[in-house]
Copies of this chain bind each other. A is one copy, B any other.
Amino acid sequence: MKNVKVILWGLGAMGGGIGKMLCKKQGVDIVGAIDIGAKLSKSLYDVVPGIERGDREDVIVGTAEEVIRPGAADIVVVCTNSFTRDVYDKLVFVMERGMNVITSAEEMAYPQAQEPELAAKLDEIARRNGVTVLGTGINPGLIMDLLVILWTGACESVDHIVSRRVNSLSPFGPAVMEEQGIGLEVAEFEKRKAAGTMTGHVGFAESIRMITDALGWKLDKFEQDMEPIVTDVDRKSPYGFAAAGHVAGVAMKGWGTVDGQVKIEMDHPQQIEPEQVGIHTGDYVEIQGIPPVNMVNTPEIEGGIGTMAMIMNCIPHVINARPGLKTMVDIPVPHAIMGDMRDMIDEDCKLVK
């Protein structure tokens, strides 16, 4: 079997990071790369910091029209957007040229939640072209949805779920510092929040619907809110700074109501340097059910590495899947790839034979 052929669309921190990871794996080749502006016409191996070319063939960054051509690859990794609406045209462009596609767009982890019409169209286009589309990442994609769902597999019944992710934003770069309002005055945070321009975490709507749909609960109402995490002390991370009295992060909360009761609670405080103020990071699953579940992973899985790994590790599952829009509850569990990626591919499903 030929190596698994991958095209990277988007060479930012996420797409570039996946490229770095892929270069360390066996049985997989990066055969194309797409970006815009100054990266065009340069070598992938010059554009992505720290990527190790080894004796691999060079890859020149091109436009989508140049790179996405029928038969060019088994799968395209799209890391360019957070919202389904924004990434939709790219996903369609890939699928109409006969390739599978996986994306880091948070809303695409469960587009049925907030974009049911686009989700239906994506499913239809995928089936028509005999390919698969999946969105995933560490969260949404694993920690606050798939992991919760897996734990309920040990339960006869479930009454109430709390998913908590207490994480550090310190490893992230300037874009995330800006999105999460790090260093802002509280009044500015509130102004942005009121204007709807504070992004915070994208994914609660998707995670909650993934859980309720999996368990067979009908979600009556989804709500979320965000509050500034105001620091008592100066906090400094590689790319962020919050002076005492300013915003060091965003505390996101979400609620899913089923049968008139809040059955799912999401609690996700994200901040720089939580350790400085004695906050222990971690991932938590608390299920009231038969039997109960009381899980913690400390420290939390780091979001950047975790998302890149999840996307890389799901590549074989997407290639193997039956055509259509898939979510993490439709495919087998993701896992690390320590051998040759080709050993995980169903020969019948390989596109580039």
* Chain A interface (Cβ < 8 Å from any Cβ of B): 21, 24, 138, 142-143, 146-147, 149-158, 214-218, 289-291, 293-299, 301-302, 305-306, 308-310, 312-314, 328-340, 343-344
- State A217–B343 Cα separation when bound (angstroms): 11
CB distance from A318 to the nearest CB of B (A): 13
**Residue in B143, B152, B305, B312 whose beta carbon sits within 8 Å of that of A336 in the complex:** B152
- With most chain B CB atoms within 10 A of its CB, the pick from A138, A294, A328, A344 is A294
CB distance from A340 to the nearest CB of B (A): 7
A156 engages B309 (CB within 8 Å): yes
B297 engages A295 (CB within 8 Å): yes
- With most chain B CB atoms within 10 A of its CB, the pick from A24, A154, A155, A335 is A154
B154 engages A339 (CB within 8 Å): no
CB distance from A338 to the nearest CB of B (A): 4
- With most chain B CB atoms within 10 A of its CB, the pick from A150, A153, A218, A309 is A153
11 A-B contacts, Cβ less than 8 Å apart? Answer: A24-B156, A143-B154, A152-B336, A153-B313, A156-B309, A156-B312, A215-B336, A216-B343, A216-B344, A293-B301, A295-B297
CB distance from A134 to the nearest CB of B (A): 13
B294 engages A297 (CB within 8 Å): yes
Give the nearest-CB partner of A343 in chain B: B216
CB distance from A147 to the nearest CB of B (A): 7
